[in-house]
Amino acid sequence: MHFSATIDYPADVETVAAMLADDEFVRRKIEASKALEGSHEVHRDGAAFTVTTRRTMPTDEVPGRFRSLVGQSLEVRLVEAWQEPGPDGARRGTLSLDIVGAPVRVTGALGLAPAARGATQSFAGEVTASVPLFGGPIEKAAVGAVQRVVDVERRVGLEYLTEHGHA
């Protein structure tokens, strides 16, 4: 099942990219996601960077009829790999989300581009669930979860930029 979302930020692409690779911002995103536990790693390679987060998530947002399939918590690993900026400062990247022990996978593309009043971050990809008969409802629930993650990132990002004088 396809998903797409955007976040508009009141700061330039370079500032937003620096935020996305900042340990404080990543830590705050994990905390805001209501993770039971979390860790992260930011790896820089020149101007390119990769952010890997691991979270133990409660299953309270998993639809009741599927909760018995996943247990008390979910181990989620998200990798966001950003390329170096292009001539206009825009960046492209990829995302990959795996849920340990669950037959759901999220893959997609990331974008960060200049906009009229700052920068726009974009997300687009596919959620796949390899469960016979139940794949569609699981994918639909997972797309909803992806949207909630984007909403958390938007809120935390806007707070971060305001606190750092970019709003």
Q: What is the pLDDT of residues 84-135, one digit of tens each?
A: 999 999 999 999 988 877 777 889 999 999 999 999 999 999 988 776 555 5
User: What pTM does this model have?
Assistant: 0.88
Q: In the sheet where 2-9 sits, what is the strand order?
A: 2-9, 118-129, 104-115, 91-100, 73-82, 48-58, 37-45
Closest by CA to 118, choosing from 6, 3, 11, is 11
pLDDT at 140 over 70: no
2-163 sits in which CATH class?
alpha beta
